[in-house]
Amino acid sequence: MTTATAQVFRLPDLGEGLTEAGLVQWLVKVGDTITTDQVIAEVETAKSVVELPSPFAGVITALHGEAGDVIAVGAPVLEVADAAPDAAPPASEQAAGDPEKEAYRSEERAGSGNVLIGYGTTERASTGRRRARASHATAAGTSQPRSESQARATHTVAVRSPIVRRLARDLGVDVRSIEATGADGAVTRADVLRAANALEGAQPQASGTGAPASGTSRETVDGLAVASRDRLSPMRKAIGATLSRSRAEIPEATVWVDVDATELWEARSRMAPEGGKAPSITALVARFTLMALGEYPLLASRLSDDASEIIAFDGVNLGVAADTERGLVVPVLTRAHELTIDELDAQLRELAATAKEGRMPAERLRGSTFTLNNYGSLGVDGSAAIINHPEVAILGIGRMIERPWVVDGQIVVRRVTQLSLVFDHRVCDGGYTAGFLRRVVELIEHPLQAFGRI
């Protein structure tokens, strides 16, 4: 009789300097039989929410951690024992006869650690993910029918958004008890809030004196009750580390200017193709910015780690700051200087949608050489932005709103915005940055002069 051998799956090296991941949800449970590459959990890194596949096949004997926990690289994730002979996958599915799995295991033996979907072998991981989901949906032991209770236990709740899932966790709502109203059968944010309100209404009310319920006590700090304590997510920690390093290392300076964007505003409305959408303001300003960077390339350069060299580039990888419910992310348009306005607009819309879903691949969040931040979309006019290290400059755009403006000695209503440029004073001085900013202003105020070059 053969004794089952336990294998411990530890969180692999995530790359990009990432040292931990937050557990969003388990997709398996103790006792499940899994296959190699089957997705076993969703984890949140400093970059995005990704799926975690298992490098081992067998029966799960232990899960380490609960939703909301942070797992360090190298820490145990789950333990797997070899499946019993009658539960083993067919010979056609065994790794010995599967070149894909053999390649996967060879990579593991080589120590690559690239097992996180989205961080390594994308094509192979995607294939494994599809196979894993099919396996999970039909259960490992297809030869035996499942009971109704087993079917409920392995049912995957239709919560497609990690943001909605986190909201439910923060509010203490069991997503399995929520009635979904989404058009595609998914649980929505409104569903979670409604369930949370119902749950709160079912709780016993506190006494009129405001004292805590019998048998409970609340932590107080400086006379105020502490409502909650939430650990920073890996993403918020990464944002904090980057911004802190920027403030600590870069002697930054800021220049700004108000711009009459009336002609651009009016021209944009005429640029929509029949039955289509006009390009966004962000796409138009991005194109003008890229044109100006062609004349002032130092602002799209970097300093070497020891700050002894300026590294200039042939072109621009444009980062575009995006505010999401998970935090600030900066998706990157590689070689953006080669894109037309229509191409910029299409890619910006796609990036924005992917970022809001919280599933931006890591490779699309690195490599920028200059960042554009349209904080006007948040309803503000100006900002003392922080440079996205290791870049040397960031350009911000405020609201484009109607304001009184002097034209030919007369006060008229014009569409006005404010541009602010934050730059690393080690790389260039005020005269250079003012020249760049004035060039962007010129293109915004007289867009028809630039359209022939776009």
* Shared domain check, 167 and 151: no
Distance between CA 110 and CA 116 in Å, rounded? 16
Does position 372 have pLDDT exceeding 50, yes or no?
A: yes
Other Cβ atoms less than 10 A from the Cβ of 341: the count is 18
425 as an active site residue: the answer is yes
Domain membership of residue 382 (yes or no) is yes
User: Of 14-28, 171-185, 297-311, which one has max mean pLDDT?
Assistant: 297-311
Same domain, 56 and 188: no
Q: Does the pLDDT at position 100 exceed 70?
A: no
Over residues 334-352, the mean pLDDT reads 93
**Per-residue confidence (pLDDT) for residue 119, from 0 to 100:** 36
User: Is the model more confident about 302 or about 189?
Assistant: 302
DSSP strand E in 56-172: where?
58-63, 70-72, 76-81
- Cis before 251? omega within 30: no
Residue 233: closest CA among 21, 91, 81, 391: 21
Same domain for 132 and 281, yes or no, is no
Residue 425 placed within a domain:
yes
Query: Which amino acid is located at 428 in the chain?
Result: C
Distance (Å, whole) CA 52 – CA 17: 18
Query: Which CATH number fits the domain that encloses residue 403?
Result: 3.30.559.10
What values do phi and psi take at 206, rounded to 5?
-75, 160
- Among 156, 183, 217, which residue terminates a domain? 156
Kindly indicate the confidence band of residue 4, based on its pLDDT and cuts at 50, 70 and 90. Answer: low
pLDDT reading at 427 higher than 90:
yes
Q: How far apart are the C-alpha atoms of 301 and 209, rounded to whole Å?
A: 62
Tokens encoding 173: 């709502």
* Count of domains for the chain: 3
Mean pLDDT of the region 284-311:
94
Please say if the pLDDT value at position 72 is more than 50.
Answer: yes
Residue 216 in domain: no
Asked if residue 187 has pLDDT above 50, the reply is: yes
Residues 144 and 266 grouped into a single domain = no
Choosing from 128, 156, 184, the residue where a domain stops is 156
Is 349 within a domain? Answer: yes
Are 259 and 318 found together in one domain? Answer: yes
Q: How many CA atoms lie within 13 A of 190 on its CB side?
A: 4
The better pLDDT of the pair 431, 244 is held by 431
Identify the domain containing residue 178 by its residue range. 163-193
110 and 24 fall within a common domain = yes
Q: What is the pLDDT of residue 5?
A: 67
Residue 210: DSSP 8-state: -
pLDDT of residue 293: 97
- 288 and 324 both lie in a single domain: yes
Amino acid at 21: A
Top mean pLDDT of 135-144, 152-161, 373-382 is at: 373-382
Pairing state between β 370-373 and 318-320: parallel
**Is the per-residue pLDDT at 158 higher than 70?**
no
Q: Nearest 10 degrees: CA dihedral of 66, 68, 72, 74?
A: 30
Catalytic residue among 64, 155, 425, 446: 425
pLDDT in the model for residue 105: 43
**Is 205 contained in some domain?**
no
Minimum mean pLDDT range among 62-66, 146-150, 348-352, 437-441: 146-150
Query: Does residue 105 fall inside a structural domain?
Result: yes
Q: Are 316 and 292 in contact (CB under 8 A)?
A: no
**Are 176 and 138 within one domain?**
no
- Give the per-residue pLDDT at 402: 96
For residues 183 and 329, membership in a common domain is answered with no
Tell me which residue of 27, 26, 33 sits closest to 4, measured CA to CA.
33
Q: CB under 8 Å to 369, separation ≥6 — which residues?
A: 300, 301, 302, 313, 316, 317, 318, 319, 391
Share of the chain above pLDDT 90, in %: 35
281/180 same-domain check: no
pLDDT on residue 276: 82
pLDDT grade, residue 186 (50/70/90)?
confident
Q: Provide the 10 A C-beta neighbour count for residue 348.
A: 24
For the residues 139-150, what does the mean pLDDT come to?
42
pLDDT number for residue 132: 41
Average pLDDT over residues 116-144: 40
Q: Would you state the pLDDT for residue 190?
A: 74
pLDDT given for residue 338 in this prediction: 96
In the prediction, which pLDDT does 166 show? Answer: 66
Does 65 lie in the same domain as 96?
Answer: yes
Please tell me the predicted confidence (pLDDT) of residue 344.
95
pLDDT at site 144: 45
Q: Examine the domain organization and report whether 32 and 129 are in the same domain.
A: yes
CA distance 369 to 424: 13
